[in-house]
Amino acid sequence: MGIEGELQRTWTKLGIDPTGLRLEPNGTLRAEAHTATRPSDDLLGTLDDVPTDEVELEPLPRLSSEQVEVGDILGEGGTGRVWLAEQRSLKRQVAVKGLRPSVEGPIARMQLLREARVTGRLEHPNVVPVHVLVRDDDGSPRMVMKRIDGRSWSALLAEAREDDEPLTPDQLETHLRILTQVCHAVHYAHARGVLHRDLKPDNVMVGEYGEVYVVDWGIAVALEGAAQDLEELPPAKDVRGIVGTLPYMAPEMVAGDGRELGVHSDVYLLGAILHEILTGTLRHQGQKLPELVHAAWTSAPPEYDEVETPTELAELVKRTTHRDPKERPASADELRLAIEAFLTHRHAATLADEGAVRFMQALSHDIDDDAALRALQEARFAYRQALRIWEESPAANEGLREVLQFWMKRALARRDIGTARVLLTDMRDDQADEWRTKVDAMGRELASRDEKLAKLEAAAEQSDMGMAARKRRGFGVAFAVLFVGVNVALHFVEELGKLNHLGYLGATGALALGFGLPVLAFTRALFPNDASRRLGWSLAFLLAWQVFTFAALWFVGVALRPTIAITLFSLGAMIAVKSAMVDWRMFWSAILTTALGAVALLVPWTTFFAVGVAYGTFFGGGAMLSYEEKLAADAERRANG
């Protein structure tokens, strides 16, 4: 694949020979540039071009074994080698970084010096602290720094994907949080005026306890307005040539013109790392070096699996690694905030997914099932919690809308106006407007129904014969017993010839008056509603009618015993009418009373016993009737049609 014309013209202008492109063992690409400029490791391709007197090591103290005892090699990179060492004065383990023998020379020494001084001046929790810069017995620089007890980020990523499976949600969050720490360090470096230029997982160390360190600042350059203590750092605008790791490199870095470098270049590298986290592949790929250069220069938007890759992160990578620097996030911190927003959104998305599961459970039950109600409550809670985290969550907003829609239909079908009104308060204005008219109409309908029910209940209460029935029961039974007793006594008085009409009327009237006065005193308690008061008046009328009948018969000259017997026929008729109008259960009393009247006429000596039994059974039997059971039986009969 050939190099595009624009890139070829840029390289020609800068004096970069594409045939001189070389990829170092650590993945760093270098290309020689012959344009006259400030000498630096990435500007010159040969060691002979760097005057040795530019690399001043004499001011550096010598590495003394009394201070630092160097031990085994911890690891090696493209140009550097790191030893485990012990700082004797503090009795702590440190790391000592020097040069590999194969690259020892002025440029490599200058690069290590620059890395040490830049790293030492970037005092940040995500940058490895440098304790001291020294030289060994051969004059080569050594950087004594904090020992990082951990692994490279690239090793952790490779381990997470060793089965070629996508990262789990928890793994994705872990590596995204590492990237946010890298963004912190890079944003701080940019604020100090330092451009890293070689950001990649290989250059990030992750400690055993989650510490994150950005390392290898050897090819860093100074941005315009850099801090004064970084004056030996080459200005980015003076860079002519290509240096960096090609699979991550921004198009302007491939062009080799330092005047186009800036914060946006490191932002691109961070975006390329994000791409690697999501896919497990490098941002730029190619079988041969020219193909890789072409891929980095064109920087075509990547394609993602919509199932495996969160859309929000896919769009963020496309924006962060856009070919046009103006389209990228303005800073590493802006990228960090976007990643943290996704992590927040991810928790909201998890809750929205849980809400969807609960809603499907609700739909699987009958609309009147209590299990459906519980599932709806859980779904609403999950969606509302998701919206607390991320108010604009499309899934949570749409899910909550569907839940409320379904729930409202359920509430209206069940005539549950209280739930319907609560649901209106949960709905957004447009959805609430859609339902408010129906809810208000049902509210008016139910209010009218409740008003009618209240009237019916009031009427039923006034018609309830059971009210105060227990209180009246005592009076009725007592009156019945005494009336029987009085008539038995009057039988013997009459046998002695000492009883006439007036005496009988006086004796029974005195008994009625004796009960009537307490009844009048406790009228409200004994007759609290219309039905009970009608009962009281009917009994009073019945007694008055009996007195009238007795007096009329006495007036026309009917003897005492026949008079009493005939009044039983009148009493039986009155009871029959009352049974038909009030309570059919007393009809037996009407029959019994009439029969007793006939017996009294045919067998006169039984007259007083007959009238006693008739009145006794009428008052006593009526008082013992259970209206609670009657009302329950009537209700059941109505329910059964």
Residue listed under structure tokens 């490191």: 266
The whole-chain average pLDDT of the chain stands at 83
Task: Quickly tell me which residue has 């609309």 as its tokens.
Answer: 367
Ranges 26-35, 594-603, 616-625: which has the least confidence: 26-35
Select the more confidently predicted residue: 131 or 586: 131
- pLDDT of 402 higher than 90: yes
Which element (helix H / strand E) includes 282? none
Find the largest Cα–Cα distance for the chain. Answer: 164
Helix (H/G/I), strand (E/B), else coil: 201: helix
**Cα(107)–Cα(45) distance, integer angstroms:** 10
Give one word for 181, left, alpha or beta, with left for phi > 0 and alpha for psi -120 to 50. Answer: alpha
CATH superfamily of this structure's domain 68-330: Transferase(Phosphotransferase) domain 1 (1.10.510.10)
Name the pairing type of β-strands 221-222 and 150-152.
Answer: unpaired
pLDDT of res. 150: 87
Is 506 or 138 the better-scoring residue by pLDDT?
Answer: 506
Give the least confident one: 5-14, 211-220, 257-266.
5-14
Q: Measured between alpha carbons, how far is 331 from 553 in angstroms, rounded to an integer?
A: 120
Domain-by-domain residue ranges, the chain? Answer: 68-330, 345-461, 467-639
User: Looking at the predicted structure, is the pLDDT value of residue 2 above 60?
Assistant: no
* More confident position, 153 or 485: 153
Please state, for a pLDDT cut of 70, what percent of the chain lies above it.
87
CA distance 550 to 563: 6
pLDDT of 590: 83
Highest mean pLDDT of the ranges 126-135, 195-204, 508-517, 614-623: 195-204
- For 78, which DSSP code? S
Helix (H, G, I), strand (E, B) or coil at 93: strand
Look up tokens 């907003």; give the residue.
397
Cα–Cα distances in Å, from 161 out to 168, 304, 317?
10, 17, 20
pLDDT digits (tens, 9 = 90+) for 95-115: 999 988 877 788 788 888 888
> 231 — phi, psi (to 5°)?
-65, -25
State residue 320's pLDDT score: 97
| The model's pTM | 0.63
Model confidence over 308-324: pLDDT tens digits?
888 889 999 999 999 99
Q: Are 201 and 158 in contact (CB under 8 A)?
A: no
User: What pLDDT score was predicted for residue 24?
Assistant: 63
Average pLDDT over residues 541-561: 88
Residues 489-493: what's their mean pLDDT?
A: 88
- The better pLDDT of the pair 594, 528 is held by 594
Using the predicted structure, report yes or no on whether residue 327 has a pLDDT greater than 90.
Answer: yes
* Residue 175 · residue 343 · CB < 8 Å: no
Name the residue with tokens 């976007």: 338
Q: What is the pLDDT of residues 195-248, one digit of tens each?
A: 999 999 999 999 988 999 999 888 899 998 887 777 778 899 888 878 888 899
Q: What is the pLDDT of residue 523?
A: 76
Exposure on the CB side of residue 262, measured as CA atoms within 13 A? 12
- Cβ burial, residue 353 (10 Å; 0-12/13-18/19+): middle
pLDDT at 261 over 90: yes
Statement: residue 641 has pLDDT above 90: no
Check if the beta carbon of residue 321 is closer than 8 Å to that of residue 283. Answer: yes
* Domain 345-461: CATH class, spelled out: mainly alpha
End-to-end CA distance of the chain: 91
Res. 25: pLDDT tops 60: no
- Mean pLDDT on 570-578: 82
The burial class, CB within 10 Å (0-12 / 13-18 / 19+), for 558 is middle
